[in-house]
Amino acid sequence: MVLNPKIEKSLIEINFVERYKKISKKYSRERTPEGEELAYFDGDLLMEIVESLGYTVKYDKRERFFHIDLETVDNFRFGFHFMFRSGRLELIWVVYEGDKVLLGSPWTRYPRLMISRDYIIKPPIISDYDDFEDVMKIAFEMYEDFKQAFLKIAAES
């Protein structure tokens, strides 16, 4: 798999790899030892937190992930999904151009596609709801930066 050139340029533009590394390092196993992560969560509380950050969120019971409503700008649709796996918060951006999927992989894949298959940045480990809120604030800031960078790059192409 190869990243779409507009996606890759946008990720570089927002310094995605360094920003994600910073989140991963702060919310690591070092900070939250095995057994202290948020293994079970209150979905309604997670949704309240996301909504307090200004996004409408839904839970997909079948696929077991949360997602914000898709945002349409011109011919593009942007989305943000997240899920918990063993206390790790997996973050996923989605971008469509018309009906074509340009992006839909977890954040952990982007550095591997940009740098090297062996380049691993682990998902953040969440120990409580405050951690979740803090990580989501940063993640949504990155999401907004990404959308703006992408739209600018797409307009120039």
Residue whose structure tokens are 């959308």:
147
The 10s digit of each residue's pLDDT in 92-106 is: 999 999 999 999 999
Mention every residue, 6+ apart, whose C-beta is less than 8 A from residue 152: none
Report pLDDT for 141: 98
Helix axes 16-26, 5-13, angle to 10 degrees: 60
The 10s digit of each residue's pLDDT in 104-146 is: 999 999 999 999 999 999 999 999 999 999 999 999 999 999 9
* CA–CA separation, 81 and 64 (whole Å): 10
Residue 142 sits in which domain range? 5-156
| pLDDT at residue 54 tops 90 | yes
Is pTM beyond 0.75 here?
Answer: yes
Number of domains in the chain: 1
User: For all residues of the chain together, what is the average pLDDT?
Assistant: 95
| pLDDT at residue 78 tops 90 | yes
Q: 75 to each of 55, 72, 98, 153, 154, how far by Cα in Å?
A: 21, 7, 6, 14, 10
